[in-house]
Structure 1
Amino acid sequence: MKKTLTLLALLAGTTALAASAPSTLTKGVLKIGMEGTYPPFTYKDDKGNLTGFDVDIAKAVAAKLNLKPEFVLTEWSGILAGLQANKYDVIVNQVAITAEREKSLAFSQPYVYSTPQIIVKKSSAFTPKTLADLKGKRVGSSLGSNYEQQLKAAGGINIVTYPGAAEVLADLAAGRIDAGYNDKLLVNYLIKSQNLPIKGAGFGKADSMGIALKKNNPSLKTAIDRALLQIKADGTYAKISRKWFGLDVSKP
């Protein structure tokens, strides 16, 4: 009963927030940093329109905050620095919540739970099960990502960094690296929807993803947390999640 009352109180607070939007870089606008090259989370479709799971989540959150979403596209390698430089208010781009990042950034409550996966070329006889199997191999990862950090922690891996996932997959498909390391949701989506010569292999340590923002705007963090609660409660989140993945990715 107490838990139910707490949830109702938080959701009621969201209504008040809608009437008084939180402080952002531009009044009435929520500037959202993302890659735009990371399907199925954020990418451009055949008509050049920005789409994806994170795009839909960002729009839903902005709507609850009574703010107009404005997307700012940037390479992953510079996306965190762009937030600190006030190029956007938030990052909605599958940013893993880590202790190191929490030293300089604030995060919303987790809105996605997923697991990194080793990726290899479809024709390859190499079938790694764990990160230990990657020792001595050339493995591609996005520069500054939590995936790169996990590979470093494993030790003995020849890590090749790239601006983003698209470049990793291109070099993997061309045989210039032995494996890649990225989100299993991305791997499953690409295998099902695109004709990329890749396949999934072993898994790494599970991650929780949050909306990243600067530490100096606690009111925006509170508003985003409440907005996430509301889109989960009213079914919006589940609808978006099923659209892109066929399951609810908000649970561990």
Structure 2
Amino acid sequence: MDRGCTNRMGPLSFGALALVAAIATSGTLAPSAGAAGDPAALKICTTGDYPPLTYRDPSTGRYSGVDIDMAHDLADHLGRTPVFVASTWPTLMANVTAPGMCDIAMGGITDTPERRRSADVTEPYLSSGKTPVVAAANAGRFSSIEDIDQPGVRVIENSGGTNEQFARKNFPTAQITIWPDNTTIFDQLAAGNADVMVTDAVEAIYQSSLHPELVAQHPEQPFTSEVKAYLLPAGSPIAGEANAWLAGALSDGTFAGIYQRWLHTPAPEAPR
């Protein structure tokens, strides 16, 4: 997420600094209001708060990340101009279903039955699952649901998405704080204001690389098995083209190359 090398983060490794620099400089400017009405535009709703998949730099308005690069590739495939439309996790489905607001939603979106009831969902492109992130001093603690669901354990989660849903379902005994800003939530964990956050393994790995004081616990064996997909308004006229493009991007190395550039590790095998 928004990770400078000042007091919000603490010291960073050279590799982490490179990742931060990539986020800050390689994105796309947010659209003007007029651009969203252009019939040649591809309107992409995204939260911009979930690096390395989607991030909006507040100082420049630029979007960047794995799914932002994928959005550009989709727009090129369709012969349209990408226009990024700011969304949030609590409002994402309302944005997708609002007439004319989004052609597609992209950016670390988990495929869920609830979302499928309101929108068209592409084939999955990335496997993930919920895993805990803790301070390095607590490595080995809070590694199971039972460890976390205890009186006095301070859980912090972002608002409105599947992380909050998971925490409320699985940690009824713990103390849950819902943090409104997903770009600063890991700073709260690093500062000792919470004991654990449970999030998608891909984000856990990425954020622990930016925060040497944090540890992603067993991301290779997450609590859940989930997949990421892209959302389109129900009955979208580009649903077929989007799925055909995605299948090609997964088979011809486009997605693998983008993923490798951002995470500096090979992309996992595409989910089936």
TM-score for the superposition, normalised by structure 1: 0.80
CA contact (8 A) 1:112 1:209 kept: yes
Q: Give the SS at the match of 2:83.
A: strand
1:68 pairs with 81, 93, 96, which one?
A: 81
| Local SS of the residue matching 2:192 | coil
Structure 2 spans left out of the alignment, 5+ residues: 1-35
TM-align CA RMSD: 2.4
Maintained 8 Å contact 1:120/1:172: yes
Deviation readout 1:25-72 (Å, 9 max, x if unpaired): 742211111122221111246984321101111111121122211112
| 1:171 and 2:183 correspond | no
1:132-147 equivalences under 5 Å are: 132-136=146-150, 137-147=153-163
Pair 1:60–1:122, CA change in 2 (3 A): same
Q: Distance in 2 between matches of 1:141 and 1:183?
A: 11
* 1:119 paired residue number: 133
1:230 alignment counterpart: 248
| Percent of aligned pairs sharing the same letter | 25
CA distances 1:156-185 after superposition (whole Å, capped 9, x unpaired) = 243322335323212212222221111221
CA contact (8 A) 1:40 1:244 kept: yes
Corresponding residue of 1:15: none
Decide which moves more: 154-163 or 219-228.
Answer: 154-163
Is 1:189 matched with 2:206?
Answer: yes
Q: CA deviation at 1:88?
A: 2.0
Given candidates 198, 201, 209, the residue that maps to 2:214 is: 198
Question: What secondary structure sits across from 2:234 in the alignment?
Answer: coil
How far apart, CA to CA, are the structure 2 residues paired with 1:127 and 1:25?
Answer: 51
**Counterpart amino acid of 1:160?**
T
- Report runs of 4+ in structure 1 exceeding 3 Å deviation: 44-49
Q: Name the residue aligned to 1:37.
A: 49
CA–CA separation in structure 2 for the residues paired with 1:232 and 1:90: 18
- Does the 8 Å CA contact 1:41/1:55 hold for their aligned counterparts? yes
More helix by share: 1
Aligned match of 1:221 = 239
> 2:45–2:84: 8 Å Cα contact kept in structure 1?
yes
Q: Which residue in 1 is equivalent to 2:68? A: 55
Equivalent residue, structure 1, for 2:231? 212
Give 3-state SS (helix, strand or coil) of 2:202's partner.
helix
2:12 maps to none
Query: Offset at 1:209?
Result: 0.8
Distance in 2 of aligned mates of 1:58 and 1:51:
10
Counterpart CA distance in 1 for 2:160 and 2:57 is 26
In the other structure, the counterpart of 1:85 is 98
What letter corresponds to residue 151 of structure 1 in structure 2? A
Counterpart residue identity of residue 162, structure 1: W
The question of whether the paired residues in 1 share the 8 Å contact of 2:97 and 2:233 is answered with yes
Q: Distance in 2 between matches of 1:98 and 1:197?
A: 32
The answer for unaligned runs of 5 or more in structure 1 is 1-23
Number of positions where the alignment pairs a residue of Structure 1 with one of Structure 2: 227
Q: Aligned with 1:240: secondary structure? A: helix
Greater RCO, CA 8 A, separation 6+ = 1
